[in-house]
Amino acid sequence: MNPLLELRNLAIDFATENGMVNAVRGVSLSIRPGEALAIVGESGSGKSVTGLALTRLLPEPPAVYRSGEILLHGRDVLRMSPRELREIRGRRIAYVFQEPSTSLNPVFTIRTQIAEAIRLHRPEVVDVDAEVVKYLDMVGIVDPARRMDDYPHQLSGGMQQRAMIAMALSCQPDLLVADEPTTALDVTIQAQIIAQLAELKQRLKMAIVLITHNFGIIGGIAENVAVMFRGRVVETGPTQEVLRNPQHPYTRALIDCIPRLGARRPRLSTIDHAALSAFESGQG
């Protein structure tokens, strides 16, 4: 099966007052239709920049695409015109971000915001309200015909995130990019959101890129994982295999940081960046 999305040697810099910063360095990844790929790394590792680059959402400048290709159905996103980019944003690749309260417009109802996305990307739809109800129901919002007239502040954090997922799904994308979708939620709601995404992936045969710092949430949804460190992918492979037998010391350190119920430790593990830098130098 041909890849739905393929990154080849992608490199992205940012212009700063102190010169150019290498945010993403030589990233190569691929994802097939209906597959879920988790991109895991700590803050600043380059994972969110990689996700935003998929549809060139990074402002240029300060972002500079130094090299590489981003192939969507075989077409290079980096060579697309502004009109072509508008056509794929939302329609082919949709996003769910980590702070639904800042992603939703507080002065418009949920109905208005999802309906706008449907009218923009699926103008053939006649009964837009019925589609809004359909997708709110799909993500588990009870009594969607009533709740769609709520404003964002009337919904809990978990329901806001479900509304954001409904908005993304309503455009019927080939790929959903979920960038830290559970960070602002409590643990119980986190598990519900991840389970919801996994169920929707199976039902809709939709590919997902899950961007997260948390190895603990990826096992039930992602077939494959890519670990990023300092702008580079340092390890890739089937998720369960990487979880059982991580090869890179950074991957091992991330997995060791996962709190485990019943484990007795004087303190949580931390990542020794000096040792990792020495390892990277030795590998180079």
DSSP secondary-structure letter at 140? T
- Is the pLDDT reported for residue 68 higher than 90? yes
Name which of 84, 78, 76 is nearest 12 in CA terms. 78
Strand-strand pairing, 36-40 and 63-72: unpaired
**CA atoms of 203 and 137, how far apart (whole Å):** 14
Q: Could you read off the pLDDT of 244-264 as tens digits, one per residue?
A: 999 888 888 888 877 666 666
Q: What is the pLDDT of residue 18?
A: 85
**CA atoms of 39 and 51, how far apart (whole Å):** 9
Q: Which helix (H) or strand (E) holds 19?
A: strand 19-31
Strand-strand pairing, 224-229 and 232-238: antiparallel
Tell me what the mean pLDDT of segment 55-63 comes to: 90
Q: Could you read off the pLDDT of 126-174 as tens digits, one per residue?
A: 999 999 999 999 998 989 999 999 999 999 888 998 999 999 999 999 9
Measure the N-to-C terminal CA separation of the chain; round to a whole number of Å: 34
- Please tell me the pTM assigned to this model: 0.89
**CA atoms of 128 and 130, how far apart (whole Å):** 5
pLDDT bin (cut points 50, 70, 90) of residue 224 is: very high
Tell me what the mean pLDDT of segment 104-113 comes to: 93
pLDDT bin (cut points 50, 70, 90) of residue 36 is: very high
Tell me what the mean pLDDT of segment 263-267 comes to: 64
Q: Could you read off the pLDDT of 168-223 as tens digits, one per residue?
A: 999 999 999 999 888 777 888 888 888 889 999 988 899 999 999 888 888 889 99
Q: What is the pLDDT of residue 214?
A: 84
Strand-strand pairing, 175-179 and 93-96: parallel
- The pair of structure tokens assigned to 201 is 């992936």
